[in-house]
């Protein structure tokens, strides 16, 4: 059984909406102007190079098992810190999750923007 997260990259159509392949929910809307995040029950995380917008309880637990702290701010922003050392970059960090049949869409804005956004899904995030 494959457990490591699978990657799908977008480098040209990075601004299209991202929908869950398991239930069809439009989790991230298209375009940059009114970016909205609507996590469905299969959403593991919604993140970008500056941090996490959303993380599921089980995904947060995997980070805690690696010695990272996961805290939720009042504005809903997720704060991840390392007890010692540095927190890996968001792209590497989200590559390291391990759930059966999980996948991640990595969308990279063309240079000079270069910003990446990352949305992960798994069919059963409750175990
Ligand atoms: Zn879903």
* Chain-centre distance for alpha carbon 19: 13
Q: What is the pLDDT of residue 114?
A: 81
For residue range 22-55, what is the model confidence (pLDDT) as tens digits?
999 999 987 665 668 899 999 999 999 999 999 9
Q: Please give the distance, rounded to the nearest whole angstrom, from the Cα atom of residue 26 to the centre of ligand 1.
A: 9
Domain ranges, ordered by start, for the chain: 6-121
Q: Please give the distance, rounded to the nearest whole angstrom, from the Cα atom of residue 123 to the centre of ligand 1.
A: 7
Q: Length of the chain, please?
A: 127
pLDDT (mean) for 2-11: 91
If one compares 29 and 124, the residue with the highest pLDDT of the two is 29
Q: Please give the structure tokens belonging to residue 112.
A: 């000079």
For residue range 9-25, what is the model confidence (pLDDT) as tens digits?
999 988 899 999 999 99
Q: What is the pLDDT of residue 2?
A: 73
Tokens 């999980």 correspond to: 102
Q: Please give the distance, rounded to the nearest whole angstrom, from the Cα atom of residue 84 to the centre of ligand 1.
A: 35
Q: Please give the distance, rounded to the nearest whole angstrom, from the Cα atom of residue 12 to the centre of ligand 1.
A: 24
pTM over 0.75: yes
Q: Please give the distance, rounded to the nearest whole angstrom, from the Cα atom of residue 112 to the centre of ligand 1.
A: 32
């Amino acid at each position: 059984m494959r457990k490591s997260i699978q990657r799908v990259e977008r480098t040209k159509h990075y601004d299209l909406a991202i929908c869950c392949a398991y239930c069809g929910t439009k989790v991230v809307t298209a375009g940059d102007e009114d970016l909205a995040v609507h996590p469905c029950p299969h959403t593991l995380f919604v993140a970008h190079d500056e941090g996490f917008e959303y993380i599921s309880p089980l995904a947060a637990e995997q980070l805690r098992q690696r010695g990272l702290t996961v805290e939720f701010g009042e504005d809903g922003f997720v704060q991840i810190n390392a007890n010692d050392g540095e927190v890996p970059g968001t792209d590497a960090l989200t590559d390291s999750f391990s759930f059966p049949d999980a996948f991640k869409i990595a969308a990279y804005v063309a240079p000079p923007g270069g910003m990446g956004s990352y949305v992960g899904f798994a069919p059963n995030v409750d175990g």
